[in-house]
Chain A
Amino acid sequence: MLIVDHAAAVGEAFDMISPVRLDVANDAFLDALPFGVVGLSDTGITETYNATEALYAGLQRQTVIGQPFFLMAGVCMNNFLVAQRFEDEEVIDTIIDYVLTFRMRPTPVKLRLLKGPKLLRHYLLIQR
Protein backbone atom coordinates (compact mmCIF):
# COMPACT_ATOMS: atom_id res chain seq x y z
CA MET A 1 0.00 0.00 0.00
CA LEU A 2 1.27 3.43 -0.92
CA ILE A 3 1.59 5.72 2.01
CA VAL A 4 1.86 9.41 1.35
CA ASP A 5 1.81 11.91 4.12
CA HIS A 6 2.84 15.30 5.29
CA ALA A 7 6.55 14.50 5.51
CA ALA A 8 6.67 13.16 1.95
CA ALA A 9 5.15 16.36 0.60
CA VAL A 10 7.99 18.51 1.83
CA GLY A 11 10.46 19.03 -0.96
CA GLU A 12 8.02 18.31 -3.78
CA ALA A 13 8.58 21.06 -6.33
CA PHE A 14 5.88 22.85 -8.32
CA ASP A 15 7.60 22.22 -11.64
CA MET A 16 8.77 18.67 -10.86
CA ILE A 17 5.97 16.86 -9.08
CA SER A 18 4.52 14.01 -11.10
CA PRO A 19 0.79 14.11 -11.86
CA VAL A 20 0.65 10.39 -11.10
CA ARG A 21 1.74 11.27 -7.60
CA LEU A 22 -1.14 13.74 -7.35
CA ASP A 23 -3.58 11.05 -8.48
CA VAL A 24 -2.69 8.79 -5.55
CA ALA A 25 -2.06 11.46 -2.92
CA ASN A 26 -4.21 11.80 0.15
CA ASP A 27 -5.52 15.08 1.55
CA ALA A 28 -2.73 15.43 4.12
CA PHE A 29 -0.10 15.19 1.40
CA LEU A 30 -1.87 17.65 -0.90
CA ASP A 31 -2.54 20.11 1.91
CA ALA A 32 1.15 20.13 2.86
CA LEU A 33 2.25 21.14 -0.64
CA PRO A 34 3.46 24.75 -0.73
CA PHE A 35 1.55 25.51 -3.96
CA GLY A 36 -2.11 25.40 -4.95
CA VAL A 37 -3.48 22.16 -6.39
CA VAL A 38 -6.79 21.87 -8.20
CA GLY A 39 -7.85 18.51 -9.62
CA LEU A 40 -10.64 18.34 -12.17
CA SER A 41 -12.77 15.55 -13.58
CA ASP A 42 -13.11 15.04 -17.34
CA THR A 43 -16.13 17.33 -17.26
CA GLY A 44 -14.37 20.07 -15.31
CA ILE A 45 -15.87 19.32 -11.89
CA THR A 46 -13.55 20.19 -8.99
CA GLU A 47 -12.46 16.97 -7.25
CA THR A 48 -9.30 18.15 -5.52
CA TYR A 49 -8.78 21.52 -3.88
CA ASN A 50 -5.88 21.73 -1.47
CA ALA A 51 -5.40 23.92 1.58
CA THR A 52 -2.87 26.25 -0.06
CA GLU A 53 -5.29 27.05 -2.87
CA ALA A 54 -8.18 27.51 -0.43
CA LEU A 55 -6.05 29.98 1.50
CA TYR A 56 -5.04 31.91 -1.66
CA ALA A 57 -8.59 32.14 -2.94
CA GLY A 58 -10.33 32.68 0.37
CA LEU A 59 -12.77 29.89 -0.43
CA GLN A 60 -13.36 26.76 1.61
CA ARG A 61 -12.80 23.38 0.11
CA GLN A 62 -16.40 22.28 0.63
CA THR A 63 -17.64 25.35 -1.28
CA VAL A 64 -15.63 24.41 -4.35
CA ILE A 65 -15.59 20.61 -4.45
CA GLY A 66 -18.27 19.18 -6.72
CA GLN A 67 -18.70 22.47 -8.60
CA PRO A 68 -17.66 23.20 -12.20
CA PHE A 69 -14.29 24.85 -11.53
CA PHE A 70 -14.04 27.26 -14.49
CA LEU A 71 -17.55 28.54 -13.87
CA MET A 72 -16.89 29.17 -10.20
CA ALA A 73 -13.55 29.53 -8.42
CA GLY A 74 -11.62 29.53 -11.73
CA VAL A 75 -13.68 32.06 -13.69
CA CYS A 76 -10.61 34.16 -14.48
CA MET A 77 -9.08 31.19 -16.34
CA ASN A 78 -12.19 30.38 -18.37
CA ASN A 79 -10.72 31.40 -21.75
CA PHE A 80 -8.61 29.97 -24.53
CA LEU A 81 -5.39 30.41 -22.57
CA VAL A 82 -6.34 27.89 -19.86
CA ALA A 83 -9.79 26.25 -19.78
CA GLN A 84 -9.98 25.78 -23.55
CA ARG A 85 -6.63 23.99 -23.55
CA PHE A 86 -7.97 21.29 -21.22
CA GLU A 87 -10.75 20.72 -23.74
CA ASP A 88 -8.65 20.87 -26.90
CA GLU A 89 -5.43 19.07 -25.99
CA GLU A 90 -4.94 15.40 -25.14
CA VAL A 91 -1.67 15.66 -23.26
CA ILE A 92 -0.48 18.76 -21.44
CA ASP A 93 2.40 19.42 -19.12
CA THR A 94 3.22 23.05 -19.41
CA ILE A 95 3.90 26.07 -17.23
CA ILE A 96 2.49 29.47 -18.16
CA ASP A 97 2.58 32.93 -16.63
CA TYR A 98 -0.85 34.15 -15.67
CA VAL A 99 -2.63 36.61 -13.42
CA LEU A 100 -5.15 35.37 -10.89
CA THR A 101 -7.51 37.51 -8.90
CA PHE A 102 -7.25 36.02 -5.43
CA ARG A 103 -9.58 38.05 -3.20
CA MET A 104 -9.88 40.48 -6.17
CA ARG A 105 -6.15 41.33 -6.01
CA PRO A 106 -4.49 40.71 -9.39
CA THR A 107 -1.61 38.41 -8.55
CA PRO A 108 1.00 37.20 -11.05
CA VAL A 109 1.35 33.43 -10.79
CA LYS A 110 2.83 30.48 -12.58
CA LEU A 111 0.29 27.89 -13.65
CA ARG A 112 1.21 24.31 -14.42
CA LEU A 113 -1.39 22.55 -16.58
CA LEU A 114 -1.37 18.76 -16.44
CA LYS A 115 -3.45 16.34 -18.48
CA GLY A 116 -2.78 12.86 -19.76
CA PRO A 117 -4.69 9.78 -20.94
CA LYS A 118 -3.65 7.70 -17.93
CA LEU A 119 -4.40 10.29 -15.29
CA LEU A 120 -7.49 10.12 -13.10
CA ARG A 121 -7.88 13.90 -13.18
CA HIS A 122 -6.60 17.02 -14.89
CA TYR A 123 -4.51 19.19 -12.63
CA LEU A 124 -3.90 22.86 -12.31
CA LEU A 125 -0.99 23.80 -10.05
CA ILE A 126 -0.71 27.39 -8.92
CA GLN A 127 2.46 29.01 -7.64
CA ARG A 128 2.48 32.59 -6.41
Chain B
Amino acid sequence: MLDLAALEAENETLLAFLYLCPVGIVQFAVDGTVRLSNPYAAQLLIPISPSRTIANFFVALERCAPELRNIAKDFPSDRGQVVQGHRIVVSGTGPGPRYLACSLLKISADCLIAVLQDVSREVQQEQQLKQNEALFSAIVTGVNDFALFSLNECGRIDSWNVSAVRQTGYPAEEVLGHDLETLVEARVAQPGLIAEQVAAAAQEGWSLREARLVRRDGQRYWCQILVAAVEGAQGDIQGYSVVMRDVTERRMTTEEFRRLVTTDHLTGAANRAHFFEQAGIALDRSERSGQPLSVVMLDVDHFKSVNDGFGHAAGDAVLQALVRQCRACLDEVAILARLGGEEFAVLLPGTDLGKAALVAERMRFSVATLDGLPVNVTISLGCAQMDKRIDSIDALLRQADEALYRAKRAGRDQVVVAPPLPEPSDLVVV
Protein backbone atom coordinates (compact mmCIF):
# COMPACT_ATOMS: atom_id res chain seq x y z
CA MET B 1 0.00 0.00 0.00
CA LEU B 2 1.25 3.47 -0.81
CA ASP B 3 1.80 5.82 2.08
CA LEU B 4 1.20 9.55 1.87
CA ALA B 5 4.84 10.47 1.29
CA ALA B 6 5.09 8.02 -1.58
CA LEU B 7 1.88 9.38 -3.10
CA GLU B 8 3.21 12.92 -2.77
CA ALA B 9 6.47 11.96 -4.46
CA GLU B 10 4.60 10.24 -7.26
CA ASN B 11 2.34 13.27 -7.67
CA GLU B 12 5.35 15.52 -7.97
CA THR B 13 6.96 13.22 -10.52
CA LEU B 14 3.80 13.35 -12.63
CA LEU B 15 3.55 17.13 -12.30
CA ALA B 16 7.20 17.55 -13.30
CA PHE B 17 6.57 15.25 -16.26
CA LEU B 18 3.75 17.49 -17.49
CA TYR B 19 5.58 20.71 -16.63
CA LEU B 20 8.49 19.62 -18.80
CA CYS B 21 6.50 18.02 -21.61
CA PRO B 22 7.87 19.59 -24.82
CA VAL B 23 4.46 19.79 -26.51
CA GLY B 24 1.47 21.85 -25.40
CA ILE B 25 -1.48 19.83 -24.06
CA VAL B 26 -4.86 21.41 -23.34
CA GLN B 27 -8.07 19.76 -22.25
CA PHE B 28 -11.26 21.72 -22.82
CA ALA B 29 -15.06 21.51 -23.13
CA VAL B 30 -16.79 21.67 -26.54
CA ASP B 31 -17.49 25.38 -25.98
CA GLY B 32 -13.74 25.86 -25.57
CA THR B 33 -13.65 26.33 -21.77
CA VAL B 34 -10.19 25.20 -20.72
CA ARG B 35 -10.08 22.69 -17.90
CA LEU B 36 -6.42 21.70 -17.92
CA SER B 37 -3.38 23.05 -19.67
CA ASN B 38 0.28 22.26 -19.29
CA PRO B 39 2.77 25.13 -19.10
CA TYR B 40 4.11 24.71 -22.62
CA ALA B 41 0.60 25.20 -24.04
CA ALA B 42 0.35 28.41 -21.99
CA GLN B 43 3.76 29.52 -23.27
CA LEU B 44 2.53 29.16 -26.87
CA LEU B 45 -1.04 30.41 -26.48
CA ILE B 46 -0.82 33.41 -24.14
CA PRO B 47 1.24 35.60 -26.52
CA ILE B 48 -1.15 34.98 -29.44
CA SER B 49 -4.39 35.15 -27.46
CA PRO B 50 -6.17 38.49 -28.09
CA SER B 51 -7.04 38.76 -24.38
CA ARG B 52 -3.71 37.25 -23.17
CA THR B 53 -5.68 34.60 -21.29
CA ILE B 54 -6.38 30.95 -21.97
CA ALA B 55 -9.75 30.62 -20.26
CA ASN B 56 -11.19 29.52 -23.62
CA PHE B 57 -9.22 27.56 -26.22
CA PHE B 58 -11.13 28.85 -29.24
CA VAL B 59 -11.04 32.46 -28.04
CA ALA B 60 -7.28 32.18 -27.48
CA LEU B 61 -6.88 31.07 -31.11
CA GLU B 62 -9.58 33.37 -32.53
CA ARG B 63 -7.06 35.65 -34.26
CA CYS B 64 -4.90 32.94 -35.80
CA ALA B 65 -7.19 29.95 -36.36
CA PRO B 66 -10.85 30.99 -36.22
CA GLU B 67 -11.69 27.89 -38.29
CA LEU B 68 -10.94 25.50 -35.41
CA ARG B 69 -14.19 26.38 -33.63
CA ASN B 70 -16.27 25.34 -36.64
CA ILE B 71 -14.18 22.30 -37.40
CA ALA B 72 -14.62 21.06 -33.83
CA LYS B 73 -18.33 21.93 -33.82
CA ASP B 74 -18.94 20.09 -37.10
CA PHE B 75 -17.15 16.93 -35.95
CA PRO B 76 -19.95 14.36 -36.09
CA SER B 77 -19.00 11.89 -33.38
CA ASP B 78 -18.23 11.82 -29.66
CA ARG B 79 -14.82 10.29 -30.09
CA GLY B 80 -12.04 10.49 -32.59
CA GLN B 81 -9.33 12.56 -34.22
CA VAL B 82 -10.82 15.92 -35.25
CA VAL B 83 -7.72 17.33 -36.93
CA GLN B 84 -4.13 16.19 -37.06
CA GLY B 85 -1.19 18.52 -37.48
CA HIS B 86 -3.47 21.41 -38.48
CA ARG B 87 -1.17 24.32 -39.43
CA ILE B 88 -1.68 27.59 -37.62
CA VAL B 89 0.17 30.62 -38.90
CA VAL B 90 0.98 32.86 -35.97
CA SER B 91 3.21 35.30 -37.86
CA GLY B 92 2.13 38.83 -37.21
CA THR B 93 1.31 38.31 -33.54
CA GLY B 94 4.73 39.26 -32.21
CA PRO B 95 8.14 37.67 -31.83
CA GLY B 96 8.22 33.95 -31.12
CA PRO B 97 7.10 30.96 -33.17
CA ARG B 98 5.73 31.59 -36.67
CA TYR B 99 3.91 28.31 -37.21
CA LEU B 100 2.13 25.93 -34.83
CA ALA B 101 0.72 22.51 -35.54
CA CYS B 102 -2.47 21.59 -33.70
CA SER B 103 -4.03 18.17 -33.33
CA LEU B 104 -7.48 17.84 -31.80
CA LEU B 105 -8.79 14.67 -30.25
CA LYS B 106 -12.35 14.33 -29.04
CA ILE B 107 -12.49 11.98 -26.07
CA SER B 108 -16.15 12.36 -25.07
CA ALA B 109 -19.27 14.36 -25.97
CA ASP B 110 -18.02 17.36 -23.99
CA CYS B 111 -14.28 16.94 -23.87
CA LEU B 112 -11.47 17.61 -26.32
CA ILE B 113 -7.71 17.45 -26.02
CA ALA B 114 -5.46 19.64 -28.14
CA VAL B 115 -1.78 19.01 -28.74
CA LEU B 116 0.22 22.05 -29.87
CA GLN B 117 3.71 22.14 -31.30
CA ASP B 118 6.01 24.85 -32.57
CA VAL B 119 6.77 23.73 -36.14
CA SER B 120 8.42 26.94 -37.39
CA ARG B 121 11.66 25.16 -38.21
CA GLU B 122 9.94 22.27 -39.98
CA VAL B 123 7.93 24.66 -42.13
CA GLN B 124 11.07 26.52 -43.09
CA GLN B 125 12.76 23.25 -44.05
CA GLU B 126 9.69 22.18 -46.01
CA GLN B 127 9.71 25.40 -48.00
CA GLN B 128 13.37 24.91 -48.79
CA LEU B 129 12.70 21.31 -49.75
CA LYS B 130 9.80 22.31 -52.00
CA GLN B 131 12.06 24.69 -53.87
CA ASN B 132 14.80 22.09 -54.21
CA GLU B 133 12.30 19.53 -55.41
CA ALA B 134 10.94 21.89 -58.04
CA LEU B 135 14.46 22.56 -59.22
CA PHE B 136 15.29 18.87 -59.24
CA SER B 137 12.18 17.88 -61.18
CA ALA B 138 12.81 20.72 -63.60
CA ILE B 139 16.19 19.24 -64.31
CA VAL B 140 15.62 15.49 -64.42
CA THR B 141 12.06 14.74 -65.50
CA GLY B 142 11.29 13.62 -69.09
CA VAL B 143 12.77 15.94 -71.61
CA ASN B 144 9.81 16.07 -74.02
CA ASP B 145 7.97 19.00 -72.52
CA PHE B 146 11.05 21.16 -72.27
CA ALA B 147 12.04 24.24 -74.20
CA LEU B 148 15.70 25.17 -74.04
CA PHE B 149 17.03 28.44 -75.39
CA SER B 150 19.17 31.38 -74.40
CA LEU B 151 19.12 35.11 -73.75
CA ASN B 152 21.86 37.63 -74.38
CA GLU B 153 23.33 39.73 -71.58
CA CYS B 154 20.44 42.23 -71.92
CA GLY B 155 17.84 39.52 -71.44
CA ARG B 156 16.76 39.33 -75.11
CA ILE B 157 16.22 35.98 -76.80
CA ASP B 158 19.29 35.18 -78.91
CA SER B 159 18.82 31.50 -79.70
CA TRP B 160 15.63 29.58 -80.41
CA ASN B 161 15.26 25.96 -81.40
CA VAL B 162 12.83 23.17 -82.17
CA SER B 163 12.04 22.47 -78.50
CA ALA B 164 11.03 26.10 -78.01
CA VAL B 165 8.96 26.16 -81.19
CA ARG B 166 7.17 22.97 -80.11
CA GLN B 167 6.24 24.38 -76.71
CA THR B 168 5.38 27.97 -77.59
CA GLY B 169 4.32 27.77 -81.24
CA TYR B 170 6.40 30.84 -82.06
CA PRO B 171 8.85 30.59 -84.97
CA ALA B 172 12.33 31.98 -84.38
CA GLU B 173 11.82 35.12 -86.48
CA GLU B 174 8.98 36.29 -84.20
CA VAL B 175 10.90 36.03 -80.95
CA LEU B 176 14.60 36.58 -81.63
CA GLY B 177 15.65 39.93 -80.21
CA HIS B 178 12.54 40.16 -78.03
CA ASP B 179 12.44 39.60 -74.29
CA LEU B 180 10.59 36.83 -72.46
CA GLU B 181 7.58 39.03 -71.75
CA THR B 182 6.46 38.22 -75.30
CA LEU B 183 5.47 34.77 -74.04
CA VAL B 184 3.59 35.88 -70.94
CA GLU B 185 -0.16 35.99 -71.01
CA ALA B 186 -1.04 39.67 -71.28
CA ARG B 187 -4.30 39.54 -69.35
CA VAL B 188 -2.85 38.24 -66.12
CA ALA B 189 0.65 39.50 -66.64
CA GLN B 190 2.32 41.02 -63.65
CA PRO B 191 4.40 43.62 -65.43
CA GLY B 192 8.08 43.13 -64.89
CA LEU B 193 7.79 39.61 -63.49
CA ILE B 194 10.08 38.07 -66.08
CA ALA B 195 12.48 41.02 -66.09
CA GLU B 196 12.77 40.56 -62.34
CA GLN B 197 13.44 36.89 -62.76
CA VAL B 198 16.32 37.67 -65.09
CA ALA B 199 17.60 40.26 -62.60
CA ALA B 200 17.36 37.66 -59.81
CA ALA B 201 19.35 35.18 -61.92
CA ALA B 202 21.97 37.87 -62.54
CA GLN B 203 22.29 38.39 -58.80
CA GLU B 204 22.01 34.86 -57.47
CA GLY B 205 23.19 32.75 -60.41
CA TRP B 206 19.80 31.19 -61.09
CA SER B 207 16.12 31.72 -60.51
CA LEU B 208 13.08 29.49 -60.72
CA ARG B 209 9.48 30.73 -61.09
CA GLU B 210 6.13 29.49 -62.21
CA ALA B 211 4.18 31.70 -64.59
CA ARG B 212 1.23 31.49 -66.89
CA LEU B 213 2.33 31.74 -70.51
CA VAL B 214 0.38 31.82 -73.74
CA ARG B 215 1.14 29.92 -76.92
CA ARG B 216 1.08 31.59 -80.30
CA ASP B 217 -2.39 30.11 -80.93
CA GLY B 218 -3.70 31.74 -77.75
CA GLN B 219 -3.74 28.62 -75.58
CA ARG B 220 -2.60 29.34 -72.05
CA TYR B 221 -0.34 27.07 -70.07
CA TRP B 222 1.52 26.98 -66.77
CA CYS B 223 5.23 26.94 -67.06
CA GLN B 224 8.17 26.46 -64.73
CA ILE B 225 10.88 28.82 -65.89
CA LEU B 226 14.47 28.28 -64.84
CA VAL B 227 16.84 31.08 -65.77
CA ALA B 228 20.55 30.45 -65.17
CA ALA B 229 23.22 33.10 -65.68
CA VAL B 230 26.14 32.21 -67.97
CA GLU B 231 29.25 33.82 -66.56
CA GLY B 232 32.46 34.69 -68.31
CA ALA B 233 35.94 34.15 -66.89
CA GLN B 234 35.84 37.45 -64.96
CA GLY B 235 32.46 36.65 -63.42
CA ASP B 236 30.73 39.02 -65.82
CA ILE B 237 27.38 37.89 -67.19
CA GLN B 238 27.49 36.93 -70.85
CA GLY B 239 23.92 35.74 -71.16
CA TYR B 240 21.38 33.35 -69.72
CA SER B 241 20.26 29.78 -70.34
CA VAL B 242 16.52 29.29 -70.05
CA VAL B 243 14.68 26.03 -69.40
CA MET B 244 10.90 26.19 -69.66
CA ARG B 245 8.84 23.22 -68.57
CA ASP B 246 5.12 22.89 -69.32
CA VAL B 247 3.53 21.97 -65.98
CA THR B 248 -0.12 22.53 -66.90
CA GLU B 249 -1.12 18.95 -66.13
CA ARG B 250 0.42 18.89 -62.68
CA ARG B 251 -0.97 22.33 -62.06
CA MET B 252 -4.52 21.21 -62.86
CA THR B 253 -4.42 18.27 -60.45
CA THR B 254 -2.97 20.42 -57.71
CA GLU B 255 -5.27 23.39 -58.34
CA GLU B 256 -8.07 22.06 -56.13
CA PHE B 257 -5.58 21.16 -53.40
CA ARG B 258 -4.03 24.59 -53.75
CA ARG B 259 -7.45 26.20 -53.34
CA LEU B 260 -8.15 24.14 -50.23
CA VAL B 261 -4.93 25.00 -48.49
CA THR B 262 -4.85 28.67 -49.42
CA THR B 263 -8.42 29.81 -48.76
CA ASP B 264 -10.55 30.45 -45.72
CA HIS B 265 -13.36 27.91 -45.94
CA LEU B 266 -16.12 30.24 -44.71
CA THR B 267 -15.55 33.28 -46.89
CA GLY B 268 -13.39 32.05 -49.76
CA ALA B 269 -10.89 34.83 -49.04
CA ALA B 270 -7.23 33.82 -48.84
CA ASN B 271 -6.26 32.41 -45.47
CA ARG B 272 -3.63 33.68 -43.11
CA ALA B 273 -0.97 31.23 -44.29
CA HIS B 274 -1.39 32.19 -47.93
CA PHE B 275 -1.43 35.88 -47.09
CA PHE B 276 1.89 35.77 -45.26
CA GLU B 277 3.48 33.60 -47.94
CA GLN B 278 2.40 35.98 -50.70
CA ALA B 279 3.29 39.02 -48.60
CA GLY B 280 6.83 37.65 -48.22
CA ILE B 281 7.13 37.22 -51.99
CA ALA B 282 5.63 40.67 -52.65
CA LEU B 283 8.04 42.23 -50.17
CA ASP B 284 11.05 40.65 -51.93
CA ARG B 285 9.76 41.84 -55.29
CA SER B 286 9.11 45.31 -53.99
CA GLU B 287 12.60 45.57 -52.49
CA ARG B 288 14.18 44.33 -55.68
CA SER B 289 12.15 46.40 -58.12
CA GLY B 290 11.49 49.52 -56.07
CA GLN B 291 7.77 49.17 -56.84
CA PRO B 292 5.52 50.35 -54.00
CA LEU B 293 3.70 47.85 -51.77
CA SER B 294 0.73 48.69 -49.58
CA VAL B 295 -1.61 46.88 -47.26
CA VAL B 296 -5.08 47.69 -46.02
CA MET B 297 -6.34 46.23 -42.75
CA LEU B 298 -10.10 46.17 -42.34
CA ASP B 299 -12.48 45.10 -39.69
CA VAL B 300 -16.28 44.91 -39.40
CA ASP B 301 -17.70 47.58 -37.11
CA HIS B 302 -19.61 46.28 -34.08
CA PHE B 303 -19.33 42.72 -35.36
CA LYS B 304 -19.87 41.28 -31.90
CA SER B 305 -23.31 42.86 -31.72
CA VAL B 306 -24.17 41.31 -35.11
CA ASN B 307 -23.27 37.88 -33.74
CA ASP B 308 -24.96 38.50 -30.41
CA GLY B 309 -28.09 40.11 -31.83
CA PHE B 310 -28.67 38.10 -35.00
CA GLY B 311 -26.79 34.86 -34.41
CA HIS B 312 -23.59 33.38 -35.80
CA ALA B 313 -25.27 32.44 -39.09
CA ALA B 314 -25.98 36.13 -39.74
CA GLY B 315 -22.40 36.95 -38.76
CA ASP B 316 -21.13 34.36 -41.25
CA ALA B 317 -23.40 35.79 -44.00
CA VAL B 318 -22.02 39.27 -43.31
CA LEU B 319 -18.42 38.08 -43.65
CA GLN B 320 -19.21 36.26 -46.90
CA ALA B 321 -20.95 39.33 -48.37
CA LEU B 322 -18.10 41.54 -47.26
CA VAL B 323 -15.58 39.39 -49.13
CA ARG B 324 -17.74 39.46 -52.28
CA GLN B 325 -18.07 43.25 -52.15
CA CYS B 326 -14.40 43.91 -51.44
CA ARG B 327 -13.21 41.47 -54.11
CA ALA B 328 -15.19 43.38 -56.71
CA CYS B 329 -13.14 46.48 -55.83
CA LEU B 330 -9.78 44.76 -56.29
CA ASP B 331 -7.64 43.86 -59.29
CA GLU B 332 -6.19 40.42 -59.95
CA VAL B 333 -2.88 40.89 -58.21
CA ALA B 334 -4.44 42.14 -54.96
CA ILE B 335 -4.88 39.51 -52.25
CA LEU B 336 -7.78 39.75 -49.84
CA ALA B 337 -7.25 37.53 -46.82
CA ARG B 338 -9.12 36.73 -43.64
CA LEU B 339 -6.54 37.00 -40.89
CA GLY B 340 -8.91 35.90 -38.18
CA GLY B 341 -12.38 36.56 -36.76
CA GLU B 342 -13.78 39.63 -38.49
CA GLU B 343 -10.33 40.94 -39.36
CA PHE B 344 -9.17 41.10 -42.99
CA ALA B 345 -6.12 42.37 -44.82
CA VAL B 346 -5.58 43.31 -48.43
CA LEU B 347 -2.14 43.05 -50.00
CA LEU B 348 -1.68 45.58 -52.80
CA PRO B 349 1.51 45.00 -54.80
CA GLY B 350 2.54 47.88 -57.05
CA THR B 351 0.20 50.26 -55.22
CA ASP B 352 1.22 53.40 -53.35
CA LEU B 353 -0.49 54.80 -50.29
CA GLY B 354 -2.70 57.25 -52.19
CA LYS B 355 -4.05 54.54 -54.47
CA ALA B 356 -4.43 52.13 -51.55
CA ALA B 357 -6.57 54.73 -49.78
CA LEU B 358 -8.77 55.04 -52.87
CA VAL B 359 -9.18 51.27 -53.07
CA ALA B 360 -9.98 51.22 -49.35
CA GLU B 361 -12.57 53.95 -49.76
CA ARG B 362 -14.15 52.01 -52.63
CA MET B 363 -14.41 48.93 -50.40
CA ARG B 364 -15.85 50.97 -47.54
CA PHE B 365 -18.48 52.51 -49.80
CA SER B 366 -19.30 49.17 -51.39
CA VAL B 367 -19.94 47.51 -48.01
CA ALA B 368 -21.78 50.49 -46.49
CA THR B 369 -24.25 50.63 -49.38
CA LEU B 370 -24.84 46.87 -49.55
CA ASP B 371 -28.48 45.76 -49.33
CA GLY B 372 -30.12 42.41 -48.72
CA LEU B 373 -28.31 41.32 -45.58
CA PRO B 374 -30.10 40.52 -42.30
CA VAL B 375 -28.32 43.54 -40.89
CA ASN B 376 -26.50 46.50 -42.41
CA VAL B 377 -22.83 46.72 -41.52
CA THR B 378 -19.97 49.10 -42.06
CA ILE B 379 -16.23 48.55 -42.06
CA SER B 380 -13.28 50.55 -40.81
CA LEU B 381 -10.02 50.49 -42.74
CA GLY B 382 -6.38 51.40 -42.16
CA CYS B 383 -3.81 51.72 -44.95
CA ALA B 384 -0.02 51.66 -44.86
CA GLN B 385 2.73 51.63 -47.44
CA MET B 386 6.07 49.83 -47.19
CA ASP B 387 9.03 52.14 -46.84
CA LYS B 388 12.61 52.00 -45.59
CA ARG B 389 11.62 52.67 -42.00
CA ILE B 390 9.49 49.53 -41.96
CA ASP B 391 11.52 46.34 -41.81
CA SER B 392 8.97 43.54 -42.18
CA ILE B 393 5.47 42.60 -43.20
CA ASP B 394 4.59 42.31 -39.52
CA ALA B 395 5.68 45.90 -38.98
CA LEU B 396 3.77 47.06 -42.05
CA LEU B 397 0.62 45.34 -40.78
CA ARG B 398 1.10 46.98 -37.40
CA GLN B 399 1.17 50.39 -39.11
CA ALA B 400 -2.03 49.59 -40.98
CA ASP B 401 -3.54 48.24 -37.78
CA GLU B 402 -2.76 51.46 -35.93
CA ALA B 403 -4.45 53.41 -38.72
CA LEU B 404 -7.42 51.04 -38.47
CA TYR B 405 -7.54 51.68 -34.75
CA ARG B 406 -7.64 55.42 -35.40
CA ALA B 407 -10.48 54.88 -37.87
CA LYS B 408 -12.39 53.06 -35.13
CA ARG B 409 -11.67 55.80 -32.60
CA ALA B 410 -12.79 58.49 -35.02
CA GLY B 411 -16.24 56.97 -35.30
CA ARG B 412 -15.87 53.91 -37.62
CA ASP B 413 -17.09 53.51 -41.22
CA GLN B 414 -14.04 55.33 -42.54
CA VAL B 415 -10.55 55.03 -44.00
CA VAL B 416 -7.43 56.24 -42.21
CA VAL B 417 -3.96 56.16 -43.72
CA ALA B 418 -0.64 55.82 -41.87
CA PRO B 419 1.19 58.14 -41.74
CA PRO B 420 -1.57 60.69 -42.28
CA LEU B 421 -1.69 62.17 -45.76
CA PRO B 422 -1.33 65.97 -45.66
CA GLU B 423 -4.64 66.53 -47.37
CA PRO B 424 -7.46 64.32 -46.07
CA SER B 425 -9.72 66.00 -48.61
CA ASP B 426 -7.81 64.08 -51.31
CA LEU B 427 -9.97 61.14 -50.34
CA VAL B 428 -12.96 61.05 -52.58
CA VAL B 429 -15.76 58.56 -52.91
CA VAL B 430 -15.40 56.70 -56.17
Contacts and interface: CB of A to CB of B under 8 A. Distances in A.
Given A59-B16, A99-B46, A106 B55 contact: yes
A103 B39 CA distance: 9
Given A80-B96, A81-B47, A101 B39 contact: yes
B38 interface: yes
A106 B54 contact: yes
Interface in A30-61: 57-60
A60 B39 contact: no
B41 A101 contact: yes
Interface stretch (A12-20, A21-29, A70-78, A120-128): A70-78
Contact of A106 (B11, B34, B40): B34
A72 B46 contact: no
Given A59-B12, A99-B54, A78 B43 contact: yes
Nearest to A80: B95
Contacts of A105: 36-37
Interface string A66-105: 0000001111111111001000000000000111110111
A104 B38 contact: yes
B182 interface: no
B42 A101 contact: yes
A58 B40 CA distance: 17
A66 to B, nearest CB: 14
Contact of B12 (A63, A72, A81, A98): A63
Nearest to B34: A106
Contacts of A78: 43
Contact of A79 (B12, B20, B46): B46
Interface string B42-76: 11101100001111000000000000000000000
Given A58-B12, A76-B46, A79-B43, A101 B94 contact: no
A59 B15 contact: yes
B46 A98 contact: yes
A63 B15 CA distance: 11
A58 B46 contact: no
B52 A98 contact: yes
Given A58-B12, A59-B12, A59-B16, A76 B47 contact: no
Contacts of A77: 39, 43
Contacts of B94: 80
A113 to B, nearest CB: 15
Given A75-B40, A79-B47, A99 B15 contact: no
Given A59-B12, A77-B43, A104 B53 contact: no
A75 B20 contact: yes
B18 interface: yes
B37 A104 contact: yes
Contacts of A99: 42, 46, 52-55
A81 B38 contact: no
A105 B19 CA distance: 12
Given A63-B16, A75-B20, A106-B54, A84 B95 contact: yes
A77 B39 CA distance: 8
**Among A60, A84, A97, A101: residue with most chain B CB under 10 A:** A101
Contacts of B96: 79-80
B47 A104 contact: no
A97 B20 CA distance: 23
Contacts of B52: 81, 97-99
Contacts of A74: 39
Nearest to B15: A58
A60 B20 contact: no
A37 to B, nearest CB: 18
**Among A58, A97, A104: residue with most chain B CB under 10 A:** A104
A84 to B, nearest CB: 7
Nearest to A58: B15
A42 to B, nearest CB: 22
Contacts of A101: 37-39, 41-42
B46 to A, nearest CB: 6
Contact of B43 (A75, A106, A108): A75
B22 to A, nearest CB: 9
Given A63-B16, A99-B54, A75 B47 contact: no
Interface string B83-94: 000000000001
Nearest to A71: B20
Nearest to B11: A58
11 contacts: A59-B16, A75-B40, A75-B43, A79-B96, A80-B47, A80-B95, A81-B47, A84-B95, A98-B52, A99-B46, A105-B37
